[in-house]
Amino acid sequence: MARLWRREQFTTGGAPGVVALIALSPVKLPDPLPVSRKQHGMPDDSEGAAAIELVTRDRSEDPAWFVEQVVQPFADLIATDLGPDVAATALASEHAYVIEGEIADPEDHGHIQAAWALAKCICEQGAALVVDVYAARAHLGVEVAALSPERDLDVMHEITLFFDETESGALAAWSLGLRKFGRPEIVILEIAADKATETALLLRDIAATLVAGERIEPGDGVGTPDGRRLVAERFDPAEAPVVSIEGDAVVLR
């Protein structure tokens, strides 16, 4: 039986945890899917696990809609993460398996664990790739199929850190994926190029505390390894258009 991914520092009052995975497959998969708690890591003692739903979309039902709404929005992401050949496979896919769920103020990560358990089963049956919508990341199907059902939660598997240059020439950094945990994304602006690695480590560490259950709100302070204190403010997208975030975010100054 898979061990439930718990939040050891859970603090109430967070936002809903929302997960969405899209698995693309060239072949129709068995219905029902042979999902196993032991083989795929499906938890059975979590309210969040029960909130996960699976919907199948077939290209043959409406080819134009399938391409425009299911595949094309993620084509560039897939090409960037997995290469043009995999992107071509995605565009040619005949079937999409959409795994979604939402749970209010999640006390554990059962909804995420269950979503990946389904994705693992789907990939074992022949899906070519999986798009983690809120983390904006694509995974090869063979890699998802190879996930250990007994693994611990890996923060850097669940979130993605992005860097891009702003109009001032400095860097902006931000997370994507914390929405799955009911927490706001984190943004840091005006980063010198030689501080990119340091900033990535800081973002990783802050994300890990939020994943574990801590909360961050405007006005909260965050200490850094070099002794600085950053203060959280609500992020205004107009301040840094290069930062691409949907949903709540805070900027650390």
Q: Kind of pairing, strands 53-58 and 137-140?
A: unpaired
pLDDT in tens, 142-165: 999 999 999 999 999 999 999 999
Is the pLDDT at 19 greater than 70? The verdict is yes
DSSP assigned state of 214: -
Mean pLDDT to the nearest integer, 40-65: 93
Using alpha carbons, select from 152, 122, 153 the residue that is nearest to residue 139.
122
Q: What is the pLDDT of residue 104?
A: 97
Residue 86's alpha-carbon distances to 81, 139, 172, 211, in angstroms, are 9, 10, 29, 30
Mean pLDDT to the nearest integer, 40-51: 88
Is the pLDDT at 124 greater than 90? The verdict is yes
Q: Using 50, 70 and 90 to split pLDDT, how confident is the model at 1?
A: low
Place of tokens 């258009």: 241
Using alpha carbons, select from 35, 27, 4, 10 the residue that is nearest to residue 141.
27
pLDDT in tens, 127-148: 999 999 999 999 999 999 999 9
Using alpha carbons, select from 194, 52, 74, 198 the residue that is nearest to residue 134.
74
Using alpha carbons, select from 66, 11, 18 the residue that is nearest to residue 217.
11
- Residue 63 CB-density burial (10 A; 0-12 exposed, 13-18 middle, 19+ buried): exposed
Prediction pTM value: 0.96
Q: In this structure, what are the phi and psi dihedrals at residue 98, rounded to the nearest 5 degrees? A: -100, 120
pLDDT in tens, 213-245: 999 999 999 988 888 899 999 999 999 999 999
Alpha-helical regions (H) of the chain: 37-40, 47-50, 63-65, 75-82, 84-91, 110-124, 141-145, 155-158, 196-211
Least trusted range by pLDDT, from 33-42, 72-81, 156-165, 208-217: 33-42
Q: What is the rounded radius of gyration, in angstroms, for the C-alpha atoms of the chain? A: 19
Give percent of the chain with pLDDT exceeding 90.
91
Mean pLDDT to the nearest integer, 189-214: 96
Using alpha carbons, select from 104, 103, 107, 126 the residue that is nearest to residue 115.
103
| Mean pLDDT for the chain overall | 95
